[in-house]
Amino acid sequence: MKLIGRLQTQGFLIPAFILCVVHCAPAESAQARLPLPKGPKGEGRGEGKGDLQTCETAGNSEDPQAATDTAAASPRYEFRDNHDPDGIGKFYLGREIAHVMGHQGADWLERPEREEEEKPEALVEVLKLKPGDVVADIGAGTGYFSWRLAKAVGSAGLVYGVDIQQEMLDLFSKKMAERKISNVKSVLGSITDVRLPANSVDLVLMVDVYHEFSHPYEMMQSICRSLKPGGRLIFVEYRLEDPTVPIKRLHRMSEAQVRKEAALHLLEWIETIKTLPRQHVIVFRKRRPASE
């Protein structure tokens, strides 16, 4: 199997199978990203197009395979044989989609240095969660953020841990049990649908995962449907604008690209928080229907 590195060092790649989630590209493209210190970044650019719909209008198929087939044939995506080796050759709105990480590298999600690299407690603090909130952690993986979110919303709140790999959800459940966290619920999503109840979530969090969605438009439609009117959607992505961030190019996103892709949905940009060491936190809110 060909191994693709997420991080890059002195001219070579060190393979490590890692997970993504919903957040991610299809499980069948079991390629790897890896955690390496620093080095030159890859390149990969493309062109694409999308169309505007509201969060309520698309992706309601009850047949996951039918939804996948429809999405794969969508004119909003472009496919190229000549592309960045760190991507899947599929382009959306000028961006090549990155390879997904596999569950075999789940330990990397719990690496000790992640505390310093990503400041998870600081991230949860800026989310300004309230007791009783319902939160969806998309691409929850081992639950690295989920248990922190669960503490923030308290016993009256609920955290959905969504992933497209059952193996990751098994690890998720084990980690939650070890921490005695009970206000969480694991959800097996698909590559086009987070499979959450409509209008049920106060906040959706996506940490370093959106850039790997194999069907970003369909996933965003699904996520929007799950949000309550006025609910918030949070993108946390490594900053493409910062050349010092030691992450390969396709695994970073610019604020402009995130806003461009979010603009196709019933969302309004609220703010971009730049206090984390390597990532920006880009906040959107689901627009309320005009009749309200």
- Domains defined along the chain, listed by start: 111-286 (3.40.50.150)
Q: How many Cβ atoms are within 10 Å of 131's Cβ, its own excluded?
A: 10
CA distances (Å), 28 to each of 18, 31, 60, 115, in order? 14, 9, 23, 30
Among all chains, which residue has been given the structure tokens 């169309």? 51
In the β-sheet with 77-79, what is the strand arrangement from edge to edge?
77-79, 87-92, 95-98
pLDDT at 104: 84
Among all chains, which residue has been given the structure tokens 């990751």? 168
pLDDT at 132: 98
Q: Element (H or E) spanning 173, and its range?
A: helix 166-178
Under-70 pLDDT residues of the chain: 1-74, 291-292
Task: Compute CA 64 distance to the chain's CA centroid, rounded to the nearest angstrom.
Answer: 19
Q: What is d(CA 150, CA 230) in angstroms, rounded to the nearest whole number?
A: 21
pLDDT at 185: 98
Among all chains, which residue has been given the structure tokens 């799950």? 226
Among all chains, which residue has been given the structure tokens 């084990």? 174
The answer to whether the beta carbons of residues 284 and 262 sit under 8 Å apart is yes
Return the structure tokens found at 278.
């390597």
pTM for this prediction = 0.78
- Provide the greatest CA pair distance for the chain: 57
Return the structure tokens found at 200.
């049920």
The answer to whether the beta carbons of residues 190 and 64 sit under 8 Å apart is yes
CA distances (Å), 17 to each of 52, 102, 103, in order? 35, 5, 7
Dihedral angle over CA of 210, 214, 218, 220, nearest 10: 0
Q: Is 262 helix (H, G, I), strand (E, B) or coil?
A: helix
Residue 223's contacts (CB-CB under 8 Å, 6 or more residues apart) are: 136, 138, 194, 204, 233
Q: State the distance between the two ends of the chain, measured CA to CA, in whole angstroms.
A: 53
Q: What is the DSSP letter of 239?
A: B
Give the relative orientation of helices 64-72 and 216-226 as an angle to the nearest 10 degrees. 130
- Give pLDDT tens digits for 125-182: 999 999 999 999 999 999 999 999 999 999 999 999 999 999 999 999 999 999 999 9
Query: Which of 250, 276, 262 is CA-nearest to residue 223?
Result: 262
pLDDT at 100: 87
Query: Which of 179, 170, 108 is CA-nearest to residue 150?
Result: 179
CA distances (Å), 207 to each of 39, 40, 81, 155, 204, in order? 22, 23, 29, 23, 10
pLDDT at 219: 98
